[in-house]
Amino acid sequence: MKTRSAIRILILFSALFIIGCKQENCTPSKTIKVGVLLGFTGTGSQNAIETKAALDIGLQDAKDYILRNGIDAKVELYFEDTKSDTTEAKVKAQSLIDKGVSLIIGPYTSAEARAVKAIADAKNILLVTHSAVSVSLAIAGDNLLRFAPSDTYQAEALNAMLTADTIKAIIPVVRNDLWSNSLIAATTGGYESNGGTVISKQTFEPGTVDFSSIIAAVKIGLDQGERRYGAGRTAIYLISYGDGTGFLEALSQAGLTQAVRIYGASAFAQSTTLTANAAAAGFAQRCRLQCPVFGFDEAASNIYEPLQARITGAIGYNASIYALAAYDILHTAVMARLTQESVPAFEAFKAHFIETAASYYGATGRTELNEYGDRKHVTYDFWTVKNMNSKYLWQLSAKYNTTDKSLRRI
C-alpha cells in the first residue's frame, strides 16, 4: 500500500512538471498558504528563533523546487507571535485563518496546541505541531497532527536510563503546566511499575524565582532516599523549560552534602539559558545531568547535516530537532498540495497529507504517523553538560531506540 501511494505521488509530480507554468511572470494557478504559530516572546523564544530559520530555508527550498520544475504554483508563509500564551495563540490562529491558510505549523507548547486545537477542529484547519508532545494530545481523528512524538516515548526512554543508572528513588520538581503534568504522570507510572519510588513531588509555577521552599523539601527527600537506598541512588527529576536554570542555580548554593544525580526533560535539553549560567551549568555537570529529547535519526544525516549548517549560518548555532521537524512539515504540506486538486475538501486534504507523510523521509527521518496522528518512529537522544575549554556546552551522551528498546551510551 505504501509503495503504491509513493508511486501515485510520483506520477502526480510528473504531471505537474508537464503542465507547470513555463513563462516568466505568469500568475500561478495554485497558491499554497501556510501559517506558523511560534512564541517569539516568552517560554518559546529559543524555539521560535531556530524554527523560523529552518522554515525560512524551507520556504526558499520550496520556491527553488517549484521554479526548477516549472510548476504553476507559489508558496506563502505567514508567521504570528503567540507570545507563548494560550489566549494569544487562539487570537493569532484566527488571524491566520482569516488570511486563508488551510494548514498551521505549531504552536510550540502543548498548552497552546490544546487551545488552538479547538479552533482547528471547529474550522476544519489542519494543525501540525513540530514540538507539542503532551500525552494528553494523543487523540485519534482530531485535526491536530504531530511530527514530534507523544511523551509516552520520553517517559519510556527516561525510565530505561533510570534503570541503567540503578536509581531507586526520584524526587520530581515539576513546572505546573499541561505538558509537565502529563509527562510526570507518564514517567512516574512506568517508574513505580518497575519498582522505583517517588518521593515528595514538588511543583513550581511558571515565573517562579524563589525556589527556597522547594529546595528545603528536596533536601529532606534526599535524606530519606539516602537512608533507605544508600548514597547515589536517589535522583532529582526536573521537568521545566529554560526556567529550570534558576532552580539549579539556587540548588547549587544550598550546601548539599548528598551524592545526587539530576535528570531533566526534553524542553530543558540543549537550553542556552543553562549553558550561559556558570553556576547552574557547573552544578549540572557535577550532578551528571541527563536530558532526553526526540533525537536525530543517524540514517538521515545526509539530509539534516547540510540543513543544520545552513541554520547555523543564519543564527550562529545548531537548531533542535523540533526546528527540523517544522522544516519537514512545510515540505510535506507543499508536496501534499502540489499533488492534489486546487481546492480539495478538507478531509481529502487531511488524508492526503497523512499519506504524503507516510511516504516521506526527511531531515528528521521517517515521518509516518500513528493512529493518533503522532509520529510513529522515534529515537531519543540524551544530552549532558560538559565544560570544554572553559565553556559549558551540551554533549550527546546516549541514544534510546523505542523500536527495539535499546539504550546505547556514547
Instruction: List domains and CATH numbers for the chain.
Output: 2-22+29-148+296-377 (3.40.50.2300), 152-294+380-409 (3.40.50.2300)
Cell of 92: 493569532
Residue 181 exposure: Cα atoms within 13 Å on the Cβ side:
11
Query: CA-to-CA distance for 103 and 142, rounded, in angstroms?
Result: 14
Q: Which residues of the chain have pLDDT under 70?
A: 1-28
Q: What is the pLDDT of residue 201?
A: 96
- Looking at residue 154, its pLDDT comes to 96
pLDDT on residue 403: 85
Nearest to 52 by CA among 41, 40, 68: 40
pLDDT confidence of residue 17: 33
Q: What is the pLDDT of residue 259?
A: 79
- Spell out the alpha helix ranges (H) of 145-262: 151-164, 178-193, 212-229, 244-252
Number of H helices, E strands in the chain: 13, 16
Beta bridge partners of 38: 81
- The whole-number pLDDT of residue 219 equals 96
Confidence at residue 281, expressed as pLDDT on a 0 to 100 scale:
97
Query: How far is C-alpha 94 from the chain's CA centre?
Result: 23
Residue with cell 529515537: 379
322-347 residue pLDDT tens: 999 999 999 999 999 999 877 789 99
What does the pLDDT read at residue 25? 39
- pTM for the model stands at 0.80
The Cα-based distances of 110 to 159, 187, 365 in angstroms read 22, 17, 23
**pLDDT tens sequence across 175-210:** 999 899 999 999 999 999 999 999 999 999 999 999
Q: State the Cα–Cα distance between residues 269 and 147, nearest whole angstrom.
A: 18
Residue 353, phi then psi, degrees to nearest 5: -60, -45
How much is the pLDDT for 257? Answer: 77
pLDDT value for 132: 95
Q: Amino acid letter at 133?
A: V
pLDDT at position 28: 57
Give the model's pLDDT for residue 195: 96
